[in-house]
A and B are shown apart, each in its own frame.
Chain A
Amino acid sequence: DAKTTQPNSMESNEEEPVHLPCNHSTISGTDYIHWYRQLPSQGPEYVIHGLTSNVNNRMASLAIAEDRKSSTLILHRATLRDAAVYYCILRDTLGGSQGNLIFGKGTKLSVKP
């Protein structure tokens, strides 16, 4: 079972920042927080992941709460191409089958021009 909770859908305006929330109140000390997104008619693609500290890459930023029970994916300037379903997933660093990606339903992000 997915161990994260995300809103079903969100809307954003083009060129504005987007904050996608994720709750994971039962996170364990060995869980990494991963984000993937799936554009229409495509396979999921990796966005970002982190453990405790905030992370930045060319696609997005990940802000992790101090207690790690929630996190936020930040798209700094949404474009129409960012319209997708965004999945927040916990991945156990202990590896093995516990490290397999288990997807929930994600958040469908719509971007308005």
Chain B
Amino acid sequence: NAGVTQTPKFQVLKTGQSMTLQCAQDMNHNSMYWYRQDPGMGLRLIYYSASEGTTDKGEVPNGYNVSRLNKREFSLRLESAAPSQTSVYFCASSEGWEFPSNYGYTFGSGTRLTVV
């Protein structure tokens, strides 16, 4: 009954360091997403994966890479972290990317990342 699990929950990085945020879902969903949320803002889509083996850019992809490792897992990598990437990152999954009318998104609890 885990839903969407994100690790780590908190992370502090120095400018220029790299790290990978992990996301896994146990609902057999085809589609997975990475969002970031800055203070006082709504969520912005970074990358998404409509199905296993595919990834596409969202609104704010610069500075990030993603990997859809398998159907369950979708990771987000920061190759050279910058202070502007300080944010809360949310992973989500959903069914029915091609026909979404009856399906909602399930979100993880987020990763709070600070880049100093």
A binding-site residues for B, Cβ under 8 Å = 2, 32, 34, 36, 41-46, 49, 51, 87, 91-93, 95-97, 99-106
Contacts and interface: CB of A to CB of B under 8 A. Distances in A.
Interface of B: 4, 33, 35, 40-45, 48, 50, 56, 58-59, 90, 92, 96-101, 104-110
Contacts, number: 65
A44 B58 contact: no
A91 B91 CA distance: 18
Contact of A100 (B4, B41, B48): B48
A109 to B, nearest CB: 15
30 contacts: A32-B100, A32-B101, A34-B104, A42-B110, A43-B4, A43-B90, A43-B107, A43-B108, A43-B110, A45-B107, A46-B104, A46-B106, A87-B42, A93-B99, A93-B100, A93-B101, A95-B96, A95-B97, A95-B98, A95-B100, A96-B98, A97-B56, A99-B100, A101-B43, A101-B45, A102-B45, A102-B59, A104-B42, A105-B40, A105-B41
A106 B108 CA distance: 19
A51 B101 contact: yes
Nearest to A98: B100
Contacts of A44: 43, 90, 92, 105, 107
